């Protein structure tokens, strides 16, 4: 189980990722993200969720997919399942989360799924 300090660390990573992807974010929304960043209370999480959903609507497909991934990661954080592989329930390596804070799978499952995907697409030479 991830402790509160670790969770806060990854939450900040996720929020800075969010700001990076939301380049045409308005001043007001940017401030809302900063407030959420400073305050881990539930009410600010809800406000954050509004901001994220509004953002997702304004962004293009690629960015909004990223925003949706970040939103999901924050939701898993609230549910206490952040950092746990959704396929095998094993904790995801923290170095992996550092590199990809929205990761839903551990490295083993990710690799397995890529193999499966490759098989579905047919053998490549």
Q: In the beta sheet, which residues pair with residue 65?
A: none
- Contacts by 83-92 with C-beta closer than 8 Å and gap 24+? 83/2, 83/10, 85/109, 87/113
Q: Is 106 in the site for Zn ion (CB under 5 A)?
A: yes
Site for Zn ion in 60-89 (CB under 5 A): 85, 87-88
Q: How far is the CB of 39 from Zn ion (least distance, A)?
A: 32
Q: Which is nearer to Zn ion, 36 or 85 (CB)?
A: 85
Q: Is 115 in the site for Zn ion (CB under 5 A)?
A: no
Residues that bind Zn ion (CB under 5 A): 85, 87-88, 106, 109
């Amino acid at each position: 189980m991830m402790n509160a300090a670790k969770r806060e660390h990854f939450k900040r990573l996720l929020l800075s990722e969010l700001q990076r992807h939301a380049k045409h974010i308005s001043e007001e929304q940017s401030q809302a993200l900063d407030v959420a960043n400073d305050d881990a209370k539930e009410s600010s999480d809800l406000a954050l969720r509004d901001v994220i959903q509004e953002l997702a609507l304004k962004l293009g497909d690629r960015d909004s997919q990223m925003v949706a991934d970040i939103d999901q990661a924050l939701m898993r954080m609230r549910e206490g399942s952040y950092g746990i592989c959704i396929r095998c329930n094993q904790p995801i390596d923290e170095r992996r989360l550092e590199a990809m804070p929205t990761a839903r799978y551990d490295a083993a499952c990710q690799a397995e799924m890529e193999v499966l995907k490759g098989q579905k697409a047919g053998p490549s030479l």
